[in-house]
Structure 1
Amino acid sequence: MTTLDDLPLRDDLRGRSPYGAPQVEVPVRLNTNENSYPVPESVVAAVGRAVQAELRDLNRYPDREAAALRADLAEYLGHGLRAEQVWAANGSNEIQQQLLQAFGGPGRTALGFTPGYSMHPLLALGTGTTWVDGRRGADFGLTAEHAVAQVREHRPDVVFLCSPNNPTGTALEPAVITAVLAEAPGMVVIDEAYAEFARPGTPSALSVLPGHPRLVVTRTMSKAFAFAGGRLGYLAADPAVVAAVHLVRLPYHLSALTQAAARAALAHRDTLLATVEAIKQERDRIVAELRRRGLTVAASDANFVLFETGGDQREPWRILLERGVLIRDVGLAGWLRVTAGTPAETDAFLSAIDAWLERKA
């Protein structure tokens, strides 16, 4: 049987593993930060009608510019944004890949701060961009001083900042973003995939966009909109950034069906986003209950919680799985991440945690 070793694979890809979380059929799946609430029937019907309307014309290519969708996204984001400042693709991963294709590449570098979103280094690898790890502090925090020092040292072409950060859940102080913008010679990308879950008063980098043509804010509909299967990510930036992405995007990259479904979801945003507050309540409940049990927990502005296991994280991960609860081992020694879901899912998770703690005692 042919293996990868038998193929003329790029040397920098040899020995690598693809990104992905375990896909296990269990009663409680809290490992990929999905929205646990199914799409309401009223939205299902609306999306169905929108997709149905496109079927007869599938012999034609979709709108290459996704103009109507981009206008809807700009209106949703607010901040005075216009359609020409927004770009959409198949998930924010594709958005960030396009940004690296345009502004990274061979001979260029991207800087990030781990623990952070583990796809960023992989996207850098796939685009031939050298990845530089600026690391976060021992408390997972990121100060303006540390971030600026890393930018000065490495002079990256692209800087990735996550707010709220994945897997820690922590949001950035605005001073970090403005300080990096003032120092960075290249593009600054703020990954706001979990922005809708942030606690009240947490600012978005969208407010910093005016006057900063090298700033890009990326978002997704996967989480708050319960649209993970729809695959729709987008960015907000200066129109010149959108023009740059046009140079590398694949032709007709966003299908007519995806555009129609996303527009229907946006039209019913109030219904879909109604689950956000419920998820935030469960997130805060998980934080409080884990701390009550004596565990160290990172403060979270996202729809997940990172907590310390006090030892090898693989053992509690296995014990929880035995009890039908799948959470995420993000590869951070001594820590695990759990998605905030429904109240019943939180009950099951906490019950499994208690079983682990009893076995550990």
Structure 2
Amino acid sequence: MSALPVRPELVGKSPYGAPQVPAQHRLNTNENPHPLPDELLADLGAALGAAALGLNRYPDRDAVALRTDLATYLTRSGTPVTAEQVWAANGSNEILQQLSQAFVGAGRTALGFTPSYSMHPLITEATGGTFVDGHRRADFTIDTGAAVAQVRELRPDVVFVTSPNNPTGTAVALETITALHDATDGMVVVDEAYAEFARAATPSALTLLAGRPRLVVSRTMSKAFGMAGLRLGYLAADPAVVDALQLVRLPYHLSSLTQAAARTALAHTDALLATVDAVKHERDRIVDALPGLGLTSVPSDANFVLFGGFADAPAVWRALLDRGVLVRDVGLPGWLRVTAGTAEETDAFLTALGEVVASAHLGDAVASGDLGG
């Protein structure tokens, strides 16, 4: 049988995905570990039941009521945002895909700074564009001067900036974002999927939107809101950006049920975000405990921690899994990433990690990676 006529630029690529393996403590996909409150579940049942009565009809194509509620939520942070500046889709990944469809595409270029969110190059290439790696310093920060020089030389159509960065966790300074924006005639997309978990006094790029029609800030309800299964992402930008995305979005892309569930969740914002401080506390517990194990971490503004000091990170990953704890091997030599879970999950992780570090093989493990249970 002949090979399928897949586009040449997709041949040999691997799809995005995290290992879905059985584990007692799954701390590899940055989900919010706290269950939804009972009062929200009750209202969700009612809202979805009401929406189901109209499933013989198409949903609101432009999701106006949902975008209005999202604008209200963003405005609560202190930066006024209108519904005309907001667009929503099936997860922030579809937001990123629509942006790439509208502003990248065949013959165009996107620039990002890795290690960062691995979907940025995948989406760029899947929509026919070319992704250029801008790289980061050894401490995973962006060298503003070098990045600006790259932007001026390459003249990319889209610049991706992930803040807080995934998988490293640290937020990007607004001065860096401003410098990148001012250095390009293209779009600057700031991916803020983890913004609600940022440390105190860490500003959002939402504060930069006024007067910058080429700046986009994307968000999600999957993380802080604990609604990963809902698949609802959104952006804030100049209304002209929203108009452009409507040229590439599929008709009726957000179902009536999705819109109803998202609006119901937004009506319970305070209850849902009440878990954020608990998650941040567990994140900081992990960071504080690592030095005592002879390990280090990257400063985190997200709900996860990149930790390291290993000669063979995959061996440590396996040793933790053998002890019932699933973390993420993000492909960075010497580093692993762990999601901040519940207090019980943090206890389990730290106990397992302590056992791995203290194992009889540790003397050779840092050099050989022999960290078996």
Please give the range of the TM-score, normalised by the shorter of the 2 chains: over 0.9
- Are 1:58 and 2:51 an aligned pair? no
TM-score, normalising length from structure 2?
Answer: 0.95
**1:68 — aligned with what?**
65
Q: TM-score, normalised by structure 1?
A: 0.98
3-state SS, counterpart of residue 52 of structure 1: helix
Query: Hey, what's the Cα distance between the residues in 2 that align with 1:342 and 1:147?
Result: 37
CA positional deviation for 1:10: 1.3
Q: Summarize deviations over 1:171-219 as a string: whole Å, max 9, x none.
A: 0111101101110120000000000000010000000000000000000
Q: State the match for 1:38 in structure 2.
A: 35
> What is aligned with 2:204?
204
Give the CA deviation at 1:358: 1.4
Q: 1:8 deviation in Å?
A: 1.4
Q: Deviations over 1:4-34 (max 9, x none)?
A: x721111111111110001122110000000
What secondary structure, in the 3-state scheme, does the structure 2 residue paired with 1:229 have? Answer: coil
Per the TM alignment, residue 355 of structure 1 is displaced from its structure 2 partner at its CA by 1.3
Counterpart in the other structure of 1:266: 266
Paired with 1:240 and 1:277, the residues of 2 have a C-alpha distance of 36
Partner of 2:132: 132
Structure 2 residue 152 is matched with structure 1 residue 161 = no
Aligned partners of 1:146 and 1:267: how far apart in 2? 43
Q: Which residue of 1 aligns with 2:370?
A: none
Residue 102 of structure 2 corresponds to residue 105 of structure 1: no
Question: Residue 28 of structure 1 corresponds to which residue in structure 2?
Answer: 25
Contact 1:309 1:316 in 2 (8 A): no
- Give the CA deviation at 1:41: 1.3
The offset of 1:270, in angstroms, is 0.6
2:368 aligned residue: none
**Residue 277 (structure 2) aligns with:** 277
**Aligned twin of 1:229:** 229
3-state SS of paired residue (2:345): helix
Report the count of equivalent residues: 358
Q: Per-residue displacement from partner, 1:229-250 (whole Å, max 9, x unpaired)?
A: 0000000000000000000000
SS in 1 for 2:47: helix
In 2: Cα distance, 1:122 partner to 1:36 partner: 27
Aligned equivalent of 1:187: 187
Distance 2:145 2:293 in 1: 35
Which whole-Å deviations, capped at 9, do the CAs of 1:88-140 have from their partners, x for residues lacking one? 00000000100010000011000000000011000001100100000000110
Q: Does 1:347 align with 2:347?
A: yes
Q: Say if 2:52 is the partner of 1:48.
A: no
CA distance in 1, matches of 2:149, 2:341: 38
Displaced runs of 4+ in structure 1, greater than 6 A? none
In structure 1, C-alpha distance between the alignment counterparts of 2:309 and 2:329, rounded to whole Å: 11
Matched, 1:239 2:239: yes
Aligned amino acid, residue 80 of structure 1:
P
Equivalent in the alignment of 1:322: 322
Contact in 2 for aligned 1:35/1:226 (Cα 8 Å): yes
What is the rounded CA distance, in whole Å, between the counterparts of 1:301 and 1:40 in structure 2? 25
* Distance in structure 2 (CA, Å) of the matches to 1:103 and 1:246: 12
Give the superposition deviation at 1:309. Answer: 3.5
Partner of 2:334: 334
Report the AA paired with residue 319 of structure 1: A
Distance, in Å, in 2 between the alignment partners of 1:49 and 1:203 is 37
In 2, Cα distance between equivalents of 1:119 and 1:291: 32
* CA shift for structure 1 position 146: 2.0
- Post-superposition shift, 1:143? 2.8
Task: State the shift of 1:310 in Å.
Answer: 2.1
Moved more, 39-48 or 344-353: 39-48
Matched AA of 1:35: N
Structure 1 letter corresponding to 2:90:
N
User: What is aligned with 1:177?
Assistant: 177
Paired residue secondary structure (2:15): coil
**Is the contact made by 1:309 and 1:336 (CA closer than 8 Å) also made in structure 2?**
no
Specify the SS of the correspondent of 1:228: coil
Following the alignment from structure 2 to structure 1, what is the Cα–Cα distance between the partners of residues 45 and 205? 34
Correspondence 1:288 to 2:279? no
Percentage identity across aligned positions? 66
Question: Among residues 11, 22, 35, which one is paired with 2:8 in the alignment?
Answer: 11
**Counterparts of 1:312 and 1:10, CA distance in 2:** 36
**Structure 2: tracts of 5 or more residues without a match:** 364-373
CA distance, structure 1, for counterparts of residue 28 and residue 213 of structure 2: 36
- Cα distance in 1 for residues equivalent to 2:293 and 2:358: 11
Could you tell me whether the CA contact under 8 Å between 1:112 and 1:159 is conserved in 2? yes
Give CA-to-partner distance per residue, 1:215-269, whole Å, 9 cap, x none: 0000000000000000000000000000000000000000000000000000001
* Corresponding residue number in structure 1 for 2:303: 303
Query: What letter matches 1:40 in structure 2?
Result: P
